[in-house]
Structure 1
Amino acid sequence: MEYSFENVRTSGAYGIFNGFFVFQVGPTENGDKLGVVRLGGHSEEDESPLDTVIREVLEEAGIKVNPINSPFTYYLECHNQANKIFMNESEVVNPILIKGNKEELFSVMYIALAGNEPHPSSESKGLLLLSPKDVELICSRKITLNEFLKQNGYAKLKDNFNKDLVLEPFPQLIFLSNLLKQESNYIEKAIKSSTVGNDQSFI
C-alpha cells in the first residue's frame, strides 16, 4: 500500500461521547430512506487529515474532538476485504481505517473522543447517538427511525423528519459494526475512556 497523508481526500471520525458513537442522519438522495452517515468531509487546501476531521466534526456536530492513535489500522482497497496493518509509529495519530488507493486518493477514519455534548449544526439535519447495541441493530435489520426512538434510541433532530423511513447504514457504520466484533477489547476501552474524562492512558 503506497499510502501518504498528502493523498488523503476525506477524513472522518467515529466520535464517541459519553459511551455513544455520534453519526449524522438525514434523507438519502432518493428521499426514501434515512442515511446514517459518519461525521467528516473533504480536506481543504494545505489541511492535514487530522486538521480536516477536527474542523469537520466541529462544523457538523459542534463537537471539539480529540482523535486518538490507533495501535492498528485496517486498509480497504475499493470493495475488497479489509486487511489489518500496522502503521509507522512516527505518525502523530494513526487512523483506524484507510480506504482507497493512490490513484483515486484515500479516505481515513479516526477514533475520536468528544470533549462536549454534540448538537446538530447548520450542516447537519440531525444526529444519532448510538450504543454498540444500536450499531448492531441498525446494521442487522431494517428499522425505521420511529422504531429506533421507541426502543429508547437517542437522537437529536433539527428538521421535521419522516420518522417512518428506514435507517440506512452507510459503509463507515457497517465497518464499525465489524470492528465491534473483531476488536471488541480496544473499542470497549475507547468507549470507557469517553465516560471518564477522556483519559487516553489505555492507548
Structure 2
Amino acid sequence: MFDINLLNTLKTVGAFIRYQDTLVFMIGPDSSGEKLGIVRLGGHVEQGESLLQALEREIKEECSIEVKLIDAPCILYKSSWEDSDYFDISDLINWNVKPLVIKKDKLSSTAVFLSYTEEEPKPSSEAYGLVFLKDKDIINICSNRLTLRDFIDGGGKFIRQKEINYDMEMYAGVHLSFLYKLLEDKNEVAIKYIKGDYNER
C-alpha cells in the first residue's frame, strides 16, 4: 500500500525525455560487461536539493540540455519494479508538476517525470552514448534480442561518446520496461506522450 511519507524519502529522480519523434535514453555496459543496458536519464538527489533541482542538474550533466516538464495527468505508484501491478495515486499528491511514476521498495525510492526538449541531447563524458527510441523501437527491444548493431542497421539513432561494442545485446532497464508495460496495457497517457500529443504545461 502507498505510504504518503515516502515522498520525503525519494532518493533518485529521472525523466523520460522526448526529442522530436523519439525518447532519449542512456546506453552502456552493465555490471557484467556482457550486455548493454538502456536506462533513463537522471540520478541521485543530493542533500539540500529538491527533486526538480536534482533532475535539472543530472540532465545537464548527462546530456547537456534543459528539458521542459509535462504535468502528468496521473501518478502511477509501484511498490517495486518487479511487481506488475500499479495504481493511480494522483488524488493523494498535490504537486505543481506531477511525475508519471513513483516507485518505493525497501532498497530505493524514485520519481520519474515526463519531459521534452527542443535541443538535441549530446552524451556527456561520463556516458557511453545515447539512443533515440521510437515506439516501435521500444516494443522491439523489449520483446526481442537485439544488438546495438541491429538497432542501428534498422534505422535507429545512436550517438556515441565512449568506445562501445556494437555487437553486444541490448536490454531494457526497469524504466524502459515499465514504459513498455504501459504500452502493452494500452495506457492512454503513455501512448499520447510517445506520440507527442502533450504540449508544454
Normalising to structure 1: TM-score of the pair?
0.89
Q: 1:86 aligns with which of 73, 89, 92?
A: 89
What percent of counterpart residues are identical? 31
8 Å CA contact 2:128–2:161 kept in 1: the answer is yes
Preserved contact between residue 127 and residue 162 of structure 2 (Cα < 8 Å):
no
State the AA in 1 paired with 2:199.
D
Judge conservation of contact 1:72–1:84 (CA < 8 Å) in 2.
no
Measured in 2, the distance between the counterparts of 1:61 and 1:173 equals 18
Structure 1 position 183, deviation (Å): 4.8
- Out of 44-53 and 76-85, give the one that drifted further: 76-85
C-alpha displacement at 1:49, in angstroms? 1.3
**Off by >4 Å, runs of 4+ in structure 1:** none
Residues 151 and 105 (structure 1 numbering): CA distance in 2 closer, same or farther, change over 3 Å? closer
Tell me the secondary structure at the aligned position of residue 180 of structure 1: helix
Say yes or no: does 1:177 pair with 2:197: no
RMSD: 1.9
CA distances 1:99-153 after superposition (whole Å, capped 9, x unpaired): 114x645211111111311000122110000001101111001100011100001
Q: Which residue, out of 6, 9, 12, partners 1:7? A: 9
Q: Is the CA contact 2:68–2:200 (under 8 Å) kept in the aligned structure 1?
A: no
Find out whether 1:147 has 2:171 as its counterpart. no
Residue pairs, 1:4-43, within 5 angstroms: 4-43=6-45
State the SS of the aligned residue for 1:58: helix
CA shift, 1:189, in A, is 3.2
TM-score using structure 2 length? 0.89
Q: Conserved in 2, the CA contact under 8 Å of 1:18 and 1:191?
A: no
Counterpart of 1:92, as a letter, is N
Give the SS at the match of 1:133: helix
Give the deviation of 1:2 after TM superposition: 1.5
Tell me if structure 1 keeps the 8 A contact 2:59–2:66: yes
Conserved in 1, the CA contact under 8 Å of 2:75 and 2:100? yes
Choose 75-84 or 139-148, whichever is displaced more.
Answer: 75-84
CA shift for structure 1 position 19: 1.7
Q: How far 1:192 sits from its partner (Å)?
A: 4.5
Instruction: Tell me, in whole angstroms, the C-alpha distance in 2 between the residues paired with 1:8 and 1:54.
Output: 16
- The aligned length equals 197
